Structure 1
Amino acid sequence: MTDTLLHSQGCACCGDLLQARYDRRRFLHVAAGAGLMAAFSPLAFAAEGNYEAMLLTCIDPRFPEPTIKYMEGRHMVGKYSQFTFAGASIGVVAPAFKTWAPAFWDNLAASIQLHNIPKVIAMNHRDCGAAKIAYGAEAAKDKATETATHKAALMEFKKQVGEKQPKLQVELHLMAIDGSVDTFS
């Protein structure tokens, strides 16, 4: 059996490369170098560590930018994990979405384990389609009713977090379309 080269041994593009000796020692040197690069890469440290919070947000495409601006204003960029699904806290507590809750609780537990978070921040938003699905159009008929609907969901969320993860602090927020935020306690 003869070795077949793509190009001749004198080829400028790959002749020397094809003649290189590949043995176990060379493999171990290359593998060790790759391992060191991976170990000292900033990405290697990103998965685990001590972070400030998990942020729960809604899937509404209007809110990622205002939410990021809000978190930037709190100097928290790069200091929190994030979980996003329809309704934010409503997606966790509303009976209409009861099959969704386990996914949130499992992800919260993972964030606690991996990121050592001391709190969870729930960021609901106004004009939320998931709120209307869960509670009907009447839940958002005016600003006061909408606020009461979100506050009730956020307070139920806080209660459930207290039952399932009693060591966590909980922040409750309601963001308007303009990015302004109301806070509940």
Structure 2
Amino acid sequence: MTFQYTHNLVSDLPTPRKQVLLLTCMDLRLLDNTVAFMNEYNLANRYDQLAFAGASLGVMHCSSPPYEEGSKGRRSSWKDVFFHHLDVAINDLQRNIKDIFIMEHRDCGAYEQFHPTHNFAYGDDQAEQALEEMHHREQAFAFADEIAEFGQRQLREAEKALKKGKDHHDPWEAERRVRAWRGLRSHCFLMDLRGEVKHLCR
């Protein structure tokens, strides 16, 4: 028996023309639903995916201890890891990423554990669901702002390098980096446990 996953397309979201970087939670319950959502936007094989517990919440607030047990080395911020991946994807792997999708989801265990002001389970009544959505909005929008700032810094550095002629041995690469970082956009979403997706707009 084959299961068909369907979604209502988000009407106010134009289909991305280029590649996408997708940030999701690591929750295994919504893997197939997430793939189906991306496929409906003709993004099959056109996106890279990073999964962190809590999606934007995890990236904004969590870090990992040093790999070596007992080591006193610096903890690794998940935010640093995310931006390093984005940098590598665009600068080194030359992914043509123009849109970043931040996919939050309801009943997220990471929000129950790590949210700075609400680290326990949300209820099922309307007020609790509204509070849950508000928290996802806050975290997703805050991280989208950081992505915008990071993209602008990368663009300024690329433009500065081009003007100074640092990449004079490869002017095409310098120009490519300027074009690559121009026009980076983030879109925030909230998926429920049935796989239905809401576009979170400011």
Calculate the TM-score normalised by the size of structure 2. Answer: 0.62
Q: 2-side partners of 1:99 and 1:51: how far apart?
A: 29
Secondary structure of the structure 1 residue equivalent to 2:137: helix
Higher helix share: 1
Question: How far apart are the structure 2 equivalents of 1:111 and 1:134?
Answer: 28
Aligned to 1:164: 150
Residue of structure 2 equivalent to 1:107: 85
State the superposition RMSD in angstroms.
Answer: 1.8
* Partner residue in 1 for 2:97: 117
- What code does the residue aligned with 2:200 have? F
In 2, the alpha carbon distance for the partners of 1:88 and 1:107 equals: 15
Partner of 2:5: none
Contact 1:52 1:80 in 2 (8 A): yes
Selected match of 1:86 from 24, 38, 53: 53
Which residue of 112, 124, 132 maps to 1:132?
112
| C-alpha displacement of 1:165 | 1.0
1:139, CA displacement in angstroms? 7.1
The ranges of structure 1 where at least 4 consecutive aligned residues each deviate by more than 4 angstroms after the TM superposition are none
Deviation at 1:140, TM superposition (A): 2.8
Match of 2:161 in 1: none
TM-score (ref. length: structure 1): 0.68
- The structure whose RCO (Cα within 8 Å, separation 6+) is larger is 2
Distance 1:58 1:146 in 2: 15
Q: 1:58 aligns with which of 12, 25, 36?
A: 25
Query: Shift in Å at residue 92 of structure 1?
Result: 1.5
> Which residue of structure 2 lines up, in the alignment, with residue 17 of structure 1?
none
Matches of 1:83 and 1:162, distance apart in 2: 18
Structure 1, unaligned stretches of length 5 or more? 1-49
- How many residue pairs end up in the alignment? 135
Distance in 1, Cα, partners of 2:120 & 2:130: 11
Distance 1:172 1:139, change over 3 A: farther
Where 1:63 maps in the other structure, the secondary structure is helix
TM superposition shift of 1:51: 4.8
Stretches of structure 2 that go unaligned for 5 or more consecutive residues are 1-16, 64-75, 153-182
1:70 equivalent in structure 2: 37
Task: Name the aligned partner's letter for residue 195 of structure 2.
Answer: G
Specify the code of the residue in structure 1 equivalent to 2:77: T
Identity of aligned residues (%): 31
The structure with the larger Rg is 1
Looking at structure 2, the residues matched to 152 and 183 of structure 1 have their Cα atoms a distance apart, in angstroms, of 14
